[in-house]
Amino acid sequence: MASAVAQVTAVTALNLRTVPSRLGPSMVIVIGIAGVVGVLVALLAMAEGFRATLSSTGRADRVLVLRGGANDELSSVIYRSQVPTIEQAPGIRKDAAGKPIAAAEVFMLTSLPRRGATDPTNVVVRGTQPNVLTVRPEVHIVEGRMFNSGMREIMVGRGAAAEFEGLTVGNSVAVRGDGWKVVGIFESGGNVHESEIWTDTEAIMSAANRGAPTSVIAQLESESQLQPFKDFLTKDPSMTVDVLSEPKYYASRSKMLSNLINGLGYFVAVVMAIGALFGALNTMYAAVSTRSVEIATLRALGFGAAPVVVSIMIEAIVLALIGGVLGALISYVLFNGYTISTLNGQTFSQVAFDFRVTPSLLIQGVVWAAVIGLFGGLFPALRAARMPVAEALRAG
Amino acid sequence: MKFFPLLWATLWRRKPRTIFTMLSIVVAFLLFGLLQAVNVAFSQGVEMSGADRLITHGKYSFTEILPYGHYQQIRSVPGVDKVSHATWFGGRYQSEANFFPIMPIDQDTYYDVYPEFVVADDQVAAFKRERTSCIVGRGLMEKFGWKIGDTIPIQATIWPKKGGSNAWEFQLVGVMDARDETMKGQENFMVFRWDYFDEARAFGQGTVGWYNVKVANPADAETVGRSIDKLFANSPKETLTETDKAFNAAFLKQFGDIQFLIASIIGASFFSLIIITGNTMMQSVRERVPELAVLKTIGFRDGGVLALVLAESALLCLIAAVIGVLLSTFASGFLKPFLPGLEVNANVWMLALGAALGLALLVGAIPSLRAMRLNIVNALSGH
């Protein structure tokens, strides 16, 4: 056993020492696999970033009340007459003045071009109440001030301010009719609200000729109040509403797109991995055939077949791992934190999000590299082991 | 052409190596073909849109609803030939994952404005007769196994019925086909009658989602669009009218960086590929130095040798590209149910062949130059 290990070490060391003299072919493995891993990690990081942005929105003890059967805020309507019942339902936390911490909101879309572009994109306009900073304490104004109720004033999320034309404090934009003045910019911990425009519910509803809000958001006393709160509202015959905790709602709104991007990522990576595998096979077969004399000499000296196989596979895997780490690093350097904005088909609105190259994605990339290296080395190694010693020596 | 046997022989000089190299390129072009087919699927909506058709929707968002009263006013605008309208219903059949578009439409005018969707005359007649009837695309009918006469239950997501129920039911009376084979898959939506919808819904009576306007003369499209918007300027529901083409193109742009993403993936896989193939070509030329020297000795000019090596590289890349794109054609056939409009069309083929030639030049450049500059005496004595 000890001698087998010594043999493997000796042959592997020999192989790896000769890599620099075969730099070109070895680079085939490294670069081919770096490409696979880079693309895989980048696409998965995109899906992960999108998912994280939506699922980090909201708190488990906060609920969203939608019309029963509505998939999302855009398709929901809550009648004005239903709002007081919801706000008075048991389980909602009260503020210092004894008022429920809840807000009726209206979710609408408007069109604004991206910075430097002319084509309009769907941007969320959320009409909300003056107490919104109490309802969503994670929101902080970073520039300017809150909108005043009843006024054509808006405050915009940091992401929206960066992404869309004209959203700077002091500027006016057309939201529903002209002249909506940007009075502030807020941040919200990088979640989906940062892609939105916020204004006063009454102001936007009158400008849009709209009679009813879309939803009510409420802070519960605790997460355990969710069920009683829900039961109270769903048992009331005058209400047909769905009650969802915020994390559940936002996670469901990211499912389609993040699954799609994940699927695309794995599909492309599998196809590319097959391509890289052929490249690796080429290189390793060439490596074996140019070294046939050396290998035969070792065998003649009494080295076993197993150390030869193992050493060649180690060489392939080491090269593959270098490629994998390289690809993962490139993708980390290029894409981690890279912000893009796309249309979320499930809410019909633009969401800006950052790519997130997480440690687990990096590890996944390197594992893929190792697997490609394993198969790329296996067959050439077997051929090397089966090579008749005498013939190989004579041919040299 | 007379050198083809020579080319063929050198190409297969080391069979396993050529096969592996070729397979890497095949895979890259398989990916190329598929990703381009996705691009086609994305842009086809834009291509199909008639130049004589306008869409009039809310000024600030496509999702605003418009008064039905706009209908007569738009019809009276000079240059307007026909007007129809539709509304976004949302709704789900069984689960959200089964999503397909559902729209209440005007049964008398819709198919005049959208002649690219074909429904049998007797089925249209039944649609006009039965208030609660619906028509679905051929693809949907096959996917869900519906038959004419079936009742299709739909859960409302936006529009409940009077009394608050979300349960709508429609009788299937007809099936839509795309008139043009290349548009297959675009017909996968459901339409039902707006008059029934408007009467049965809980709120929003007297509104529609958007108007579809066919103009008499495509050249006047923009002028007509402007006159429509002028009609409603400064009214509570202002409009924005644009050609179907502009509307679809703008909608696709909303996906923003997707095309950039596709281009990056192709870029990354081609870069890896150039390294793999280029290395093989170098190896192959290095091994053949004596043979190339012999060719030069028997009278081949430098340019001839250069051409020979480049031609070999081109042959390798073209064969592989053709196989790869053929495979992507088959694969997109399988994937079509998931992404309608997916198509490897002539354009994709041209792009792929162009890319293959470009790739061949790139990977063949260094080895062929090396072969050209070969010094006969040195090359022959080296062995």
Q: With an 8 Å Cβ cutoff, is B257 touching chain A?
A: yes
Q: Please list every residue in chain A whose beta carbon sits closer than 8 Å to the beta carbon of residue B21.
A: 278-279, 282
Count CA atoms closer than 13 A to B6's CA, side-chain side: 12
pLDDT of residue B11: 85
pLDDT of residue A268: 86
Q: With an 8 Å Cβ cutoff, is A108 touching chain B?
A: yes
pLDDT of residue B340: 64
* CB-CB under 8 Å, B60 with A175: yes
Tell the residue number behind the tokens 């052409």, with chain if given: B1
Q: Please list every residue in chain B whose beta carbon sits closer than 8 Å to the beta carbon of residue A376.
A: none
Shortest CA distance from A276: residue in chain B: B24
> pLDDT tens-digit profile of A47-97?
999 999 988 898 999 999 999 989 899 999 999 999 999 999 999 999 999
- From the list A27, A31, A119, which residue is nearest B250 (CB)? A119
Q: Please list every residue in chain B whose beta carbon sits closer than 8 Å to the beta carbon of residue A272.
A: 27-28, 31, 268-269, 272
Q: With an 8 Å Cβ cutoff, is A382 touching chain B?
A: no
Cα torsion B263, B264, B268, B269: sign? negative
- The separation between CA B218 and the C-alpha centre of its own chain, rounded to angstroms, equals 24
Shortest CA distance from A376: residue in chain B: B20
Contact A27, A323 (CB under 8 A): no
Tell me the range of A25-29, A168-172, A351-355, B271-275 where mean pLDDT is highest: A168-172
Mean pLDDT of A236-255: 90
pLDDT of residue A238: 82
Residue B66 structure tokens: 């418009």
Q: What is this structure's pTM?
A: 0.84
Q: With an 8 Å Cβ cutoff, is B20 touching chain A?
A: yes
Q: How many beta-carbon pairs below 8 A join chains A and B?
A: 156
- From the list A24, A69, A70, which residue is nearest B279 (CB)? A24
* CB-CB under 8 Å, A68 with B269: no
How does residue A37 score in pLDDT terms, banded at 50, 70 and 90?
A: very high
Q: Above pLDDT 70, what percent of chain B? A: 95
Mean pLDDT of A225-248: 91
- From the list B61, B269, B283, which residue is nearest A272 (CB)? B269
- From the list A35, A240, A274, which residue is nearest B268 (CB)? A35
pLDDT of residue A240: 87
Beta-sheet strands, E only, within A35-119: 62-67, 102-113
In sequence order, which residues have a C-beta less than 8 Å from that of residue A161 and are 6 or more positions away?
A: A167, A168, A185
Mutation test of the interface with chain A: which of B27, B255, B366, choosing the one with the most A Cβ atoms within 10 A? B27
pLDDT over 90 (residue B193):
yes
> pLDDT tens-digit profile of B37-79?
888 777 766 666 677 899 999 999 888 999 999 999 999 999 9
* CB-CB under 8 Å, B236 with A69: no
Residue A375 structure tokens: 């198969």
pLDDT over 60 (residue A281):
yes
The Cα A34–Cα A322 span in angstroms is 8
* CB-CB under 8 Å, A27 with B250: no
Amino acid at residue number A27:
M
Q: With an 8 Å Cβ cutoff, is A282 touching chain B?
A: yes
How does residue B166 score in pLDDT terms, banded at 50, 70 and 90?
A: very high
pLDDT over 90 (residue A256):
no
pLDDT over 90 (residue B167):
yes
Q: With an 8 Å Cβ cutoff, is B239 touching chain A?
A: no
Q: With an 8 Å Cβ cutoff, is B182 touching chain A?
A: no
Shortest CA distance from A121: residue in chain B: B254
Mean pLDDT score across all residues of chain A:
90
Residues B297, B16, A365: CA angle, nearest 5 degrees? 125
How many Cβ atoms sit within 10 Å of the Cβ of residue A339?
A: 12
The Cα A249–Cα A245 span in angstroms is 6
* CB-CB under 8 Å, A75 with B157: yes
pLDDT over 90 (residue B12):
no
- For chain B, positions 59-98, list CB contacts with chain A under 8 A: 60-64, 90, 92, 96
Predicted complex ipTM: 0.79
Tell the residue number behind the tokens 């605008």, with chain if given: B77
Mutation test of the interface with chain A: which of B13, B63, B94, choosing the one with the most A Cβ atoms within 10 A? B63
pLDDT of residue A16: 82
CA distance B129 to chain A (A): 30
pLDDT of residue B338: 65
Mean pLDDT of A291-299: 85
- For chain A, positions 130-169, list CB contacts with chain B under 8 A: none
Tell me the range of A16-20, A33-37, A118-122, B124-128 where mean pLDDT is highest: B124-128
The SS3 call for residue A162 is helix
pLDDT of residue A305: 86
Shortest CA distance from A107: residue in chain B: B63
Nearest to A110 by CA among B66, B60, B64: B60
The Cα B369–Cα B308 span in angstroms is 11
Q: With an 8 Å Cβ cutoff, is A279 touching chain B?
A: yes
The Cα A135–Cα B317 span in angstroms is 62
pLDDT of residue B337: 64
* CB-CB under 8 Å, A24 with B20: no
pLDDT over 80 (residue B260):
no
Mean pLDDT of B217-231: 92
Amino acid at residue number B288:
R
